[in-house]
Amino acid sequence: MFFAKSPNVLAQEESNIPSPPNLITDEQLTVNKTLFGDTILIGKDILIQETINGDVFAVGESVTVESPINGDLRIISIRAEVKSVVDGTFAFISQNIYITSIGEINKDVYGMTKDFNLEGRIGKDLNLGYSYDANIIIDGKIMGNFFYTESRPDISEQADISGEIRKIAPYEPASSKADFIVVRIFYTLVLLVITIFIIRTRRDILEKAVSEVESKFSKHLLSGLISAGVIVLTGFLSFASGAGIPITLILAGYVAIVAYLSPIITSVWIGKRVFKTKNIGLIQIISGLLIFNLITLSSALSVLIYFVSTALVLGYITRVYLKKN
């Protein structure tokens, strides 16, 4: 894996062999050399001036794409501008999105925004979620369908939409993939907010948990598997008795919460390993969460990764409880 933290760029030597994910962080981040492999960009102002051959996940205040991306593009930002070709899909959560007249997305576009301006071309469907007071302008080409969640947007006479134009309910996915990606982005943001809150209020608890899980991996995993077995058995017996249904619901809720939050510890551990530091900061948190989501989004082993992560956290909680009692 390639990591960099220099003012301007930041790249791996050109090669015809795809590399593992690149991780590049800087406040003013400019990509001015060709990159190969999936790439994670974290900075305040991100500018892509050379081709990236792989998927791109960018988090920043502003993101500007001026060169081709031969893969999917995912953005979390305040504003983003696409001035080149994205060969895959484009997913985003951003206050302002602008696809210029020379911007092209060859596959689907989906996301949440307040201001959206399309002058370029979208090769497949456009799925937009936005608030009632959003400013949505369609002045380019959509080769597929256009689905939106609020009042009909401003579609100019120059716009060319080949497929269906339809308003959908906010909870009605226009496509399963679009729904899945947007939910995952929101999930990542929720985990990020929770992790930052823990860091600012009880940093010691999180640091201890990460250290314990790392140093006693097998013990916590075994404890988690045993705990999961006990919980399942107890829940089944309680449900079978009828009178114990509330207990079953409580146990199910407990496991669901642990599973939902378990990536926090795993992601922080990944971030620490990436930067080879004992300290936990914002860069470590964001990097860890993005890498965790990138792995579980594209890997066939995502279910196993989530299972192990949940078992580790469940085991840690169980061992802490037993020590105190």
Nearest to 87 by CA among 102, 72, 99: 72
Among residues 123, 154, 174, which one ends one of the domains? 174
Percent pLDDT > 90 in the chain is 27
Two tokens at 206? 């999180």
pLDDT in tens, 147-167: 888 777 889 989 999 999 988
Chain Cα centroid distance, residue 174: 19
Is residue 245 located within the same domain as residue 168?
Answer: no
Cα 253 to Cα 43: distance, rounded to the nearest angstrom:
37
3 state DSSP class of 155: strand
pLDDT in tens, 87-137: 999 988 888 999 999 999 999 998 888 899 999 999 999 998 776 778 899
Is residue 215 located within the same domain as residue 294?
Answer: yes
Cα 267 to Cα 139: distance, rounded to the nearest angstrom:
41
Chain Cα centroid distance, residue 189: 8
Nearest to 103 by CA among 118, 87, 82, 88: 82
User: How many domains is the chain built from?
Assistant: 2
Is residue 118 located within the same domain as residue 144?
Answer: yes
pLDDT in tens, 214-267: 888 888 889 889 988 888 888 787 777 766 677 778 888 888 888 888 888 888
Is residue 70 located within the same domain as residue 153?
Answer: yes
Which pLDDT score, from 0 to 100, does residue 19 have?
A: 45
Q: What is the mean pLDDT of the chain?
A: 82
Mean pLDDT score, 4-14: 44
Most confident of 68-82, 169-183, 232-246, 263-277: 68-82
Among residues 148, 174, 200, which one ends one of the domains? 174
Is residue 193 located within the same domain as residue 319?
Answer: yes
Q: How many CB atoms lie within 10 A of CB 297?
A: 15
Mean pLDDT score, 72-90: 93
Is residue 245 located within the same domain as residue 125?
Answer: no
Range of the domain at 15: 2-174
Is residue 31 located within the same domain as residue 42?
Answer: yes
The answer to whether 191 touches 282, Cβ cutoff 8 Å, is no
Is residue 31 located within the same domain as residue 150?
Answer: yes
Percent pLDDT > 70 in the chain is 86
Is residue 8 located within the same domain as residue 132?
Answer: yes
Is residue 158 located within the same domain as residue 239?
Answer: no
Is residue 294 located within the same domain as residue 206?
Answer: yes
- Please determine, for residue 318, whether its predicted confidence score (pLDDT) is greater than 50: yes
Among residues 123, 142, 174, which one ends one of the domains? 174
**Residues contacting 67, CB < 8 A, separation 6+:** 31, 48, 49, 50, 51, 52, 84
Cα 34 to Cα 11: distance, rounded to the nearest angstrom:
7
Mean pLDDT score, 259-277: 82
Mean pLDDT score, 204-222: 87
Is residue 204 located within the same domain as residue 165?
Answer: no
HSE (CB half, 13 Å, CA atoms) of 9? 15
By DSSP bridging, strand 22-25 and strand 45-48 are: unpaired
- Please determine, for residue 1, whether its predicted confidence score (pLDDT) is greater than 50: no
Two tokens at 305? 């990764």
3 state DSSP class of 51: coil
Cα 52 to Cα 72: distance, rounded to the nearest angstrom:
10
